Every structure is written in structure tokens, then in C-alpha cells.
Amino acid sequence: MLVSDAIFSASPYLQHQLARHPEWQAYLETSQPYANGELVQNIAAEVLTLPDYDSLLRTVRIIRNREMVRIAYRDLLGKAELAETLQTTSDLADGLVDAVYRWCYAELTAKHGIPRSRSGEPQQMVIIGMGKLGGQELNFSSDIDMIFAFPEAGATDGKRDLDNQTFFTRVGQRLIGVLGQTTAEGIVYRVDMRLRPFGEVGALALSFDAMEHYYETHGREWERYALIKARVMAGDKHNGAELMARFRPFVFRRYLDYGAIEQLRDMKAMINREAERRGKYLDVKLGTGGIREIEFTAQVFQLMRGGRIPELRGRSLLPTLDALLAQQLLTADEFGILRSAYHFLRRTENRLQMWNDEQTHSLPTTSERQACLSSSMGFADWASFEAELNRHQRAVSQIFQRVFALETQESQPMPEHPAIQALLHSRLYNTLTDTGRSRLNRLLPALLDACNALADPEQALERCLRIVQKIAPRSGYIAMLADHPNALEQFVRLVSDSLWITSQLTDHPILLDQLLDSRQLYTPLDREQLGAALRLELERIDQGDTEQVMERLRQFKQAQVLRVAAADITGILPLMKVSDQLTWIAEAVLEETQRHVWVTMTAQTGVPCYKNDAGETQQAGFAIIAYGKLGGLELGYGSDLDIIFLHDSHGTAQQTNGKKTLENAVFYARFAQKIIHTLTTFTPAGRLYETDTRLRPSGASGLLVSSLNAFCTYQQEKAWVWEHQALLRARVITGTERLRSQFEQVRHDILCQPRDRAELRKQVIAMRQKMWESMASKDSSIFNLKKDPGGVTDIEFIVQFLILAHAHEHPELVRWSDNIRQLESLQGAGILPADTAVMLADAYRTLRDRIHELSLQEQDAVVEAGQFVREREAVRAAWVTYLG
């Protein structure tokens, strides 16, 4: 079958090449998609054995034209999907560049010897593809953007030696010459090296160290954008991977980078001005809703979040869109629109370039060319094609406008408000960059408007400005608030409602990211989701980097607690759910902290083992037991974690099984110390939790980690009544199933033992009396919601006394560790009348609810004595009834 006239009408270039090379007809008809790496290998086999420079020039052009004809043929006939066309076009460039480089390298080493580092290691050049070449999505007739590098300084080992930079510069020049010369067969590629450090005036090839130094000290924002797609496409790929790793901190910032929005917006505005100057209104790449807007929409998320989300570091656009959908940064509708438009626009771009192998992105203006293009795209006429094109461009433009906030209002005059004027005349304002001042000027009028809409605008503004002054030097956050009205509204509302949130955002501005997506902000994760989300966060970083792990744990905890506070303030979550959420966050953090410390320690020591009575070697178990508010699922915003550590090692040969052997007791002591260190150490992201381990056997003087047997003996023989009260609130957070069930059995047996009720009452009252004397308010005009008579602690003591007094007859009473379900159990057992149980539960919730509210305002759990009188009197009456 001959190539049809319809295909010739879509590509005179294809017609011209087949006229010169009719033997290619059979090659086209039998063509199949290449296997991975096949085309690159084929090119190397044809090129590397060529005897001389003239043969090289001729052969690489023949290869290039033959493969481009094949690509056009398969694309125009519909045999190749877009993905194949882009991949094969990119593979062709990879193969030609790599083969020509190796030929030129061999040519120069024959004259000058092999380039070596100062330590004698042979050196190869690293060739980095940029732009669409780097992304393996090269268009049909494109320049290729490259950067040349080499690993280390040194010199060649021949008689006519050259330093490495001179050698690789000559190799690079030779390579560019082979690719870019015009001969009777045309050119291979127009080569653009302007993306290298210092551009056209910079050295053609630089060492890795020089390259890294440039980006650390001179790198500009547009170079971050360019390096997103950087890929080692030829030369020394092994060492090239090290260079890519060195680039990563420059491209992908450790913290969320909202300044990327404005930088890319400025770049797009510059492109728009240039397109307008050149009259490129009909440009499918640079025009409104074009390919560049799709790329910018994806890449702004990569620059902002790629430092924290490795899935967003991909070089190709379509997989990046998949990642953005998976991360919920694009909706399913937006993803579908961008993906469909990208396919349509890239196919259109390729068809434009297949016409005559020219680098063009402009739509044709003659009716003949318009008819050919619309036909090749599968449309009956130009009007139908243009309507579909316009539909895609409008949809892309709307998403681009949303992401880049191009709909921002015209600049407003600066308010005369004293606080704002004071900021504008402050030393801080004068130290900002021009960009920083511009962003702040844009934010302040909108901020004042948002504060004025609230009941207490002055308080709202004062709190907001406290945060603004902290984040002003990192003006990307200012840009985020200025460019996202919804985020600004949520920011003002939450800060106005909670001094605690104000402090959190002031101390940890990275939390501002949570304000962007109200769907996630007000829907905290459940227990399973929290564990999965934290594991995913930690999988994204090097587990050997403990400092990074500690930072990520803190950032995760802060972000999740902020979500809980937002849902709490807005009334979405009731009190008990708030406590559940805060408890679940702590549980997830403890689980992952223990897992991380376990992995790092056992990698050196092996796991702790022992021999049981039968002489069998078993792995010892470890558990973290929660007490207090964590144990009772009643954690507050600033609560400490009351925890103890247990293990079940016993028998003989109690030691780890690794190269560095430790006695199990030593291993577990270090293990627990490292867990506490991870939780309590201050880092730039703050502290995870204060911990209190004094509830372990023998308190602060006891071992940090006890065996289960020792714990059981202590509870049976030495524990005070108050320690059994505390045990009522205890539950296992982490641990093996065997140790979990054994602890539950010990807890059950201890709590259900018979007690002298009169003696129990006496000791409970004595303990509470000490607490009143040492902790209760001395001022009769105030009421401490927790510690004063009639407060939360009284309710807890009433419940604990009744359970300890009756558990031997009603063992079901010890099932739960939280106060509300314990009250329900006492009612179910007939020990508390229903009205008393309901009254105590309601009072407990009411008082704790107020404690939460005060905590969100960073206030102590203290109110005027005239408040909660009814609840206090009811609690005191119950105290008198059951404890006298």
C-alpha cells in the first residue's frame, strides 16, 4: 500500500523525503512501536563504528530524516497515540545525541588521552536535556535545549594533555557542530545552550561542584522552573544521577513555596507581551489557553509542593497531572479538562510542524492550509476544528486563571488605619525586597476589609498583623493570602476566633498551607486515615535522616491539630469528637515514632530475644501504655502525654540478635529514651509533645522500662490506691498482640480484686484532700474548672472510687478507660442511678467543653466563681452521697 495523497497533503515534508528515499516506503509499512531502549540501541549500532567525520555528518542526518518520516507516517495514519509520538521523538534525540557524543569523545581521547579526576578516575560528560526534551515529550520539529557537565576537575592522560573543562568544552563544541551544521541532508537539531549557568557568556561545560555553587549563589527563579524537566539524557548517566540529586534542593524547596505562583505568573505575563508584540494571537503554545498555560498550571504545584511530595517531581506533564489528581490538588473535572486539552493541542502542534518540518506553533491563515490541518485532525472543515480548539482553550484558561489568581481585583488605596500605617513605616517594611513590599501592599487593604466584617475587627486585625509581620520576609505566604480570597477569609476567621491558632500560625507559618483547601481543613482524618497519611509522609523522606523525620512528625501533628481546631471553632466537631481526634493524632505519632526508632536501632543491634522455659528462642515484645487524658481518649490541645513502657522479655539469653549485642534491659532503656527524645526535643518546627513517665512502677525513681512481670508484681504488692485509680485510665497504644492481651489481663486482675470499701473511701478522700490543698484556687472569686471542688477531677474521683469498690462484683466496669463510658457502665450495673449518671456526664462534658474553649484562647482553665454553679453543686452533692 502506497502512502495516501491525504497524508501527503498533510505533510509535504514527508512527500519530499519519500521522493528522495523511495526505499523507505517498505520501512514505513512494516513499522511497529519500538520497545523500550530499542531505537537508542539501533542508532548507536549505526553511528559508533563510522570511520570519519563526513560519514558521521551524513549518517546522523539520514537517520534523523528516516525516523522523522516514520514518526509522521505513524502519527498521521493514526497508528500511533500521542504518547508514542512524543516518546519516539524524544528517544530519537537521545539516541542521536548520545551516539554523536561518544563518537566525538573517542575522537578527542585519541588525541589527548582520557580525562581523569585528580584521583585518577576516568571522566565522561553528563548531557542534561531540558524543556520538552528533558520531559521526554519533544515536539516534531524542535530545538533541543541542553546543559553540559562533568564530575570533577582534572586533566587528560595523553601526551597533548588538556584540563577537563577544556576537553569537555571541545567535545561539546564538536557535538553541537555535528548536530547543527546545515548540509545537503539538512540539519539534525538546532541546539540551544542558553539555559546553562550564566547563559551565553557562561562556560560551555562545568564541573558538578561549579554547577552546584552557581545554583546555590546565583540561581534565579526561572531556572528553578527550567530544571523541573532536567534529565540526564546522554553521556554518563550513573554520575548524572548524583548531579540531579544536587539540583533537587534548589528546585524543590523544603517548605511550601507560594512565591512560585507569582514568579510563574510574571513569566507568563512576559510571554503574553512577547506573543502580542509578535502578533502570535493564533499560537497554540503561547496563546491564551495554550500548551504553556497547561504546563505552568502543573509546574506551579511542582515548585510549591515538590519538596514535600516526591510524586510531584516528575518531568513529564501527563504523569504530573495524574499525581496532582491523586494528591487532590486538581479536581477530577480539572484533570479531565487539562489532559484532554493537552492531547488536542500537542497533536495540533505536531501536525503544524509535520507540514514542512518547521518549528512553528501558529495556526495557518490560508484556507488551503486550514483545510489540510483540520482534515489531518479528523474534522470535516476549519470551522469545526476551530470550535473544538476554542472550547479547549477557554477551559484551560479558566483553570489557569483560578490557579494563578489572575482575577485579582484592581489595587486598592492603602488604608489609613493606624496599625497598618505603623507597619508601613516600620523598620521591617523597609527591609523587605521590592517584591515583598508589593505583595504586602496588595494584601493589607483586603486584610482590613476581611477583619471589618467580623464582630471584633480590632482584635482580628491585631492578631492577623502579628502573623503578617512574622511571615512578611517570606513573602510567598503574603502572596498566597493576597491571591486567594477564600484562604484569606478563613485565615482571618480562625485567627480572630482563637489565640491558640494565632500562636500556631505565628510560630509555624507552614501551617498556612492548610487554609487553601476548605474541604480538607474542616474534615479531620479518622484514626486509620491519620496513620496512613503519616506513614506516607515519612516514606517520602530518607528514614536514616532522623532530623528530617522529627521535622516531618512535628509538621504533620501541627497540621492535623489545626484541622481539628478549625472544625472545633466552627462547630463541626462536638467536644467528644475533638478529644477523639486529638487522641488519634497522638496515637499515630507514637506509632510512627516507635517504628522509626525501632528500625534505626535494630539495624545496628538486631531485635531483642529470649529463651522461654521450653528453650525456644522468641522475640521480645514492647508496648507503650497510655495513662491520663491520652489513656482516657480525652486529650486537649496542649495536653502532655502520660505514658509508660513495658516489655515481656523473660527467661534466659535475654539479648539482641545482631552484630552489636545488647542486653535486652539496656536495649529497651535506650529505645525508650530515644522515643522520648524524638517526642520532646525542640527543633525548628517546635516540640511534638511533653511526656510524663512518672506513673511507671516506683515513679521517677523506677526503671524507665519495666518488664510485664515486674509491673504486675508492683501493682499487686506496692502500688498505692491512687495508682490503681490511674490504671483505670490506662490502655495500650502500641505493642505486639501477645503483650497487649497480657497487659489487659494484668489490668483486669488488678482492678477487679476485692477491696475494703471503707479503707478505699478513706484513701481516695485523703488523696483528693491533698490535691485541694495544693492545687485548688485560694481565691474565692474564681473557679478552677479542673481542680476546684465540684470540678472535673471530682467527677473522675467519684467514678474511680465506685469502679474500684464494685469491680470485683461487676468486672465489666473496667472495660473502658474513658470517663463517659465508665459512667455508662456504672449506670448499666445499677451502681449509679440513671439521673445521677446523666447529670455527671453532662457536667463533665460542659466543663471540659469550656476548658477546650479557654485553651483555644491560650487561657487557663479558670472562670469567675459565679459560672457553672448548677454543675458544681450537683457534682458536690454526688461527692457527698458516695464519698461523704
510 forms beta bridges with: none
User: Do the first three CATH levels of 33-251 and 757-883 match, i.e. the same topology?
Assistant: no
Tell me the mean pLDDT in the region 354-364: 92
Confirm if 235 and 201 have CB atoms less than 8 A apart: no
pLDDT beyond 90 at 268: no
**Average pLDDT for 567-588:** 91
Lowest mean pLDDT among 3-12, 25-34, 710-719: 3-12
Distance, C-alpha 242 to centroid of its chain = 23
pLDDT at 409: 44
SS3 145: strand
Residues in the chain: 884
Q: What pLDDT score does 659 carry?
A: 86
| The architecture CATH gives domain 532-751 | 2-Layer Sandwich (3.30)
Q: Which residues contact 547 (CB under 8 A, 6 or more apart)?
A: 683
User: Does residue 609 have a pLDDT over 70?
Assistant: yes
Reported as a single tens digit per residue, the pLDDT across 622-666 is 999 999 999 999 999 889 999 999 999 988 889 999 888 999 999
Q: Parse the chain into domains and list their residue ranges.
A: 33-251, 259-404, 418-512, 532-751, 757-883
Mean pLDDT for the stretch of residues 477-486: 84
Q: Are 302 and 228 within 8 A, CB to CB?
A: yes
Q: What pLDDT sits at residue 278? A: 57
- In angstroms, the Cα distances linking 804 to 381, 630, 713, 818 are 87, 21, 19, 15
**pLDDT tens per residue, range 213-233:** 999 989 888 899 899 999 999
Continuous segment of H or E residues that includes residue 115: strand 115-117
Give the Cα separation of 31 and 43 in Å (integer): 16
pLDDT tens-digit series, residues 68-121: 999 999 999 999 999 999 999 999 999 999 999 999 999 999 999 999 999 999
pLDDT digits (tens, 9 = 90+) for 591-600: 999 999 999 9
What is the per-residue pLDDT for 699?
Answer: 87
| SS3 state at 654 | strand
Single pTM value for the model: 0.77
Provide the residue type at 474 as one letter. Answer: R
What confidence score (pLDDT) does residue 288 get?
87
**What number is the average pLDDT over the span 310-316?**
93
Report whether pLDDT(385) > 70. Answer: yes
- Quick one: cell of 436? 515583598
Mean pLDDT of 19-42: 94
CATH number for the domain running over 757-883: 1.20.120.330
DSSP state string for 739-757: HHHHHHHHHHHHHTS---H
Instruction: Label residue 258 by pLDDT band (50, 70, 90).
Output: low
Provide the pLDDT confidence category of residue 410 given band limits of 50, 70 and 90.
Answer: very low
Task: For the domain made up of 259-404, give the CATH fold.
Answer: Four Helix Bundle (Hemerythrin (Met), subunit A) (1.20.120)
pLDDT digits (tens, 9 = 90+) for 845-870: 999 999 989 998 899 999 999 999 99
Average pLDDT, the chain: 91
Radius of gyration of the chain (CA): 35
pLDDT tens for 813-843 read: 999 999 999 999 999 999 999 999 999 999 9
What kind of fold does domain 33-251 have according to CATH?
Beta Polymerase; domain 2 (3.30.460)
What is the distance between the alpha carbons of residues 486 and 488, in angstroms, rounded to a whole number? 5
